[in-house]
Structures are given as structure tokens and as C-alpha cells.
Structure 1
Amino acid sequence: MEEVKSKVDSFIRKVVDEKGRPETLYKAARHIIEAGGKRLRPYLVCKTCGLVGGVEEQAVPAAATVELLHTFTLIHDDIMDQDTVRRGVETVHKKWNLPTAIIAGDLLFAKVFEVLGMVGLSDLYSCEVKLSILQLLTEAAILICEGQA
């Protein structure tokens, strides 16, 4: 599990780059990710890929999108629930402010689709698989919103 976590974290660091501007926005977006977490969801994505005959390493971008989506929802959930601590650190809205937290979550949501675009340009997956990934993540995002309402 640690190997998948390391690969996914490395991939996410490249996507939510420290050189991203505005700097405060990118720091806020990385805050909860850098606080840790088990990365169970990405692990399940990679292992499932391997179980169905795929190459686990090639599933890292898809696994990262799941973690980005999850972290986006955590940031927004902390706002809605007025939580002050997540993974042992201050929540994004507590450490920065409410507008920064909202836009940091939104940035992570947009990064999901940026990564999906990268996957879309890759020859590693068939068009059918690419479309399935997009549909699954879109459905997951909708269900998360409906569940939070």
C-alpha cells in the first residue's frame, strides 16, 4: 500500500505543483493532501487494475484523480460542517480563510479533469476505457454532491 501511496503522492505533487500561481491557492490546495491519509481509494484503483489484467503503474493517474476528487470533497465538507481539524492539521478554511478554501477545493476538482485530459491524450487506454473513467468520476462527483445536500 505504501508503494501506491508514494507513486500517487508523487504524481499529485506534479499536478498540484509548488510553482503553481497564485502561491497561496496552491499551498491551500496541497495542505490536506500533504497532511497524510492512507490513500486507500488510489490503492484500490491500482490493485483493481492489476486484478483485471492491467498494469498497476499505468493506473496511477486514474488513482490520483480519485484522491484529488476525495480531497476536494473533504475541503468543502470541512467548510459545511465547520470543522477545524482534518488529518491532524487545521482545515483549509481555518488556516487560510473561507474564500481560499472554496477556490482550493474547486482547483482540485478542476485538476481531476486536467489529469483526465492527460489520460485522454495517452495511447495506454482504449477510447472505451477513457470514456468509462470519465463517466465513473462524473457520476461519483454527482453522488457526492447529492449525498452532502
Structure 2
Amino acid sequence: MERLRTFGEVYDNRNNAFDILRFILASMVIYSHSYPLLYGTAHGGDILERITGFQVSFGSLAVCGFMVISGFLITQSYFCSHTLKRYVVSRCLRVLPAFAASLLLTAFLIGPWLSGMDWNAYLFSGGAENPGKFVLLNLSFRKLQVQVEHFGKVEQ
């Protein structure tokens, strides 16, 4: 009788179906979000939400699927790194540039646009949560801020 192969022996990290799975999961999130955007919250949720009595939606199911795939891929990355140091460095090099770019985009492009303030008033506003401090504090992980002080406020 032939021995059953392990998942590690069968799995091919170059030829797999993760791309199509991610596409399907992303489509499920878009589908789930389309209901409140198109019909409002009074209509209820997507079809799965209504069938399950508002316990699970296609969007929440997709998020769970993304978490499973992410856990699998991150574990695979760890085992391919051979050392913890190499793994941590590669994770940081993958995640931190996008994190920094999103902070800069939020603080210096989206923030001034949505605040309604002129550039000088926005950029050089006082207080503990001005745009520069927002970026630096978040990049240092010392104090994660969710908003810039004047974000979304219009001065009179």
C-alpha cells in the first residue's frame, strides 16, 4: 500500500490556487459591501446574511478566508527563511514601506484635502497630533494614532 504524502510534499508554492482564491474572497467582500451602499442599511445585508439571520455575511466569511490564507503564507515564509532573524527582517522589509507610504499619504495628501484648511494652517498646526507627529509616532510604534488633530475639521 502506498504511503500518503504530507501536505508539504504535495504543496507547490509557485503553482497553486491562492490567486483565484484571493480574487473570489475579494469579490465576496465587494458583493457584501454593495448591499448597504446600494440599498442602505434598512434593506438588510447580503443574501447569506439574511439566510443566517444576520449572523454571517459573505464579507465576514471572506475575511476569515483571508486570515486562513495569510496564516498559511506567513507560516510558509517563516519555514523558508531558515532563521528567525531573516524572517523578521524580510517581514519588516515587506510591510513597513507600505505602512510608511500609507501614513505619508494620509497625513500629507488626504488630511489637508479633507480638513478644508489651507496648507500652512494644516501642516504647521500646533498640538500633539499635527501631521508630522502623526507620521513619526506611528512609524516609531510608540503611540499609534488613528487620526491627525484637524482631520475632517473645517476652521471657521
TM-score, normalised via structure 2 length: 0.29
Q: Name the structure where helix makes up a greater proportion of residues.
A: 1
TM-score, normalised via structure 1 length: 0.30
Q: For the pair shown, which has the larger CA radius of gyration, 1 or 2?
A: 2
Which fold has the larger relative contact order, with Cα–Cα distance below 8 Å and residues 6 or more apart in sequence? 1
